[in-house]
Amino acid sequence: MSIISDILKRIKPSPTIAVTQKARELKAAGKDVIGLGAGEPDFDTPDNIKDAAIKAIKEGDTKYTAVDGTPELKKAISEKFKRENNLSYSTDQITVGAGGKHVIYNLMMATLNKGDEVIIPAPYWVSYPDIVMLAGANPIVVECSEEQGFKLTAKDLASVITNNTKWVILNSPSNPTGACYTEQEIRNLAQVLRRNPHVSVLSDDIYEHIIYDNFKFFTIAQIPELKNKVVTMNGVSKSYAMTGWRIGYAAGEKEIIKAISKVQSQSTSNPSSISQAAAVEALNGTQDFISIRSKSFQERRDFVVSSLNDIDGINCLKPDGAFYVFPSCKGLIGKKDKSGKKLETDTDFVQSLLENNNVAVVQGSAFGLDGYFRVSYATSMEKLKVAMERIKSFCESLS
């Protein structure tokens, strides 16, 4: 009899973390690897935020806090929602966790039962299905094609809702595609949800501020009739370059927020007090750098999309947000690399690219859609130029 639980056997380690770790190992072994696998801004945390953390340390703000966040941080989050999204939440409708992933995990653990279903549009962030399975429920994956911009349509949503559906997950801007739902597209989905009041929505807005070409961000909780059916998750990791600080948050109905806190009270307890102090400054302090950094990301996006589309066998849509592209490599599947290995899947493609040309990307199948790969352009333009040259050289070497 195995000591490992049956439910743990249903899931797999995060593919994106695995790729990043493999790239680190190769670098440590002396390989000149360019990692385009991690979803992490290359910018540093702004100085005013770091200074707030240092001040908290010096003032002894190093003790336990309330399980689900300090009053100061909850107030800052409440004000953020009002200021940026025109959404009103009291502080007891807000929870803070050790990163966005932690908040999502707590939400699913707090609300799902065996037999429940969670609708997950694919391509999806790699952790959604596994978190749902860890909670004992069933992920219902809906493939969203390149032709529909990798986005869930109202028709597709309506076709998969059952009496067992408890949640649908919306992620805009999206990881891994960068796709963004327009206000009209969200309203179309809302029409379906109004007809199915037993279904709630997790809106993952973590890339909210990383948008391009004057795209107007809209989140589903802004539709008044649905607000009480939506839990909106966000955090400081991406927009404020604070991935290592581990602060995510969510807002929703009091009953759900209280349930999330209950789960957290018996697992991690409170997030770092120092990180919470830094997050207060992030939300309350200057926001000027966000648009400046987004402009830099947009320049990188344009370069990467153009470079990839110049490669025979590669096709890449131009996304409206986040810092990823999700190009198709279907035109190269079936070819052989320099060693004579036949590339039969997107996993073969990315493994051969790493082994032969020292560029780490993540296979599309890890995100629920075969024949693609994800490129994170959250690195310097200098590295991106070399990486694109290597990818082109690799693709041209296939026979």
DSSP state of 9: G
**Cα-flanking dihedrals φ and ψ of residue 131, to 5°?**
-65, -45
**How high is the pLDDT of residue 23?**
80
Number of helical (H) and strand (E) elements in the chain, helices listed first: 12, 12
Q: Is the peptide bond before 71 cis (omega within 30 degrees of 0)?
A: no
118 contacts 365 by C-beta, under 8 angstroms: no
Q: What is the pLDDT of residue 17?
A: 76
Q: Where in the chain is the domain with CATH 3.90.1150.10?
A: 8-44+289-397
* Res 7: pLDDT: 85
Mean pLDDT of 193-221: 98
Contact at 8 Å (CB) between 373 and 291?
Answer: no
Tokens of residue 240, six digits: 């404020």
CB atoms within 10 A of CB 112: 21
Residue 287 has which token pair?
């926001």
Q: Higher model confidence: residue 11 or residue 260?
A: 260
Query: What's the gap between Cα 368 and its chain centre?
Result: 14
Q: What is the pLDDT of residue 343?
A: 97
Q: Supply the mean pLDDT for the chain.
A: 96
Mean pLDDT (whole number) for 166-170: 98
Question: What CATH class has 47-284?
Answer: alpha beta
**Residue 144 pLDDT more than 90?**
yes
pLDDT at 1 over 80: no
Q: Which residue has the tokens 């439910």?
A: 7
273-284 and 71-85 helices, crossing angle to 10°: 30
pLDDT at position 394 over 80: yes
Residue 353: predicted pLDDT: 96
Residue 27 pLDDT grade (very low, low, confident, very high; cuts 50, 70, 90): confident
Stretch 66-71: mean pLDDT: 98
Average pLDDT in the 332-353 region? Answer: 95
CATH number 3.90.1150.10 is the correct assignment for the domain at 8-44+289-397: yes
- Residue 188 CA to residue 124 CA, distance in Å, equals 20
pLDDT surpasses 80 at 19? no
Identify the pLDDT of residue 29. Answer: 86
User: Among the residues of the chain, which ranges form H helices?
Assistant: 15-28, 47-58, 71-85, 100-111, 127-134, 154-160, 183-194, 254-265, 273-284, 288-309, 346-357, 381-397
Do 136 and 112 contact (CB within 8 A), yes or no?
Answer: yes
Mean pLDDT of the region 283-309: 97
More reliable by pLDDT, 216 or 17:
216
Q: Where are the CATH 3.40.640.10 domain residues in the chain?
A: 47-284
* pLDDT confidence of residue 261: 98
pLDDT, position 347:
92
Q: Where are the beta strands (DSSP E) in 115-235?
A: 117-122, 138-143, 165-171, 200-204, 230-235
Residue of higher predicted confidence among 139 and 2: 139
Q: What is the mean pLDDT of residues 175-186?
A: 98
Q: How far apart are CA 127 and CA 329, in angstroms?
A: 23
Query: CA 202 to CA 118: how far, in whole Å?
Result: 10
Q: What is the pTM of this model?
A: 0.96
Tell me how far apart the terminal alpha carbons of the chain are, to the nearest angstrom.
48
pLDDT higher than 80, residue 230: yes
* Torsion-angle region of 299 (φ positive above 0: left; ψ -120 to 50: alpha; else: beta): alpha
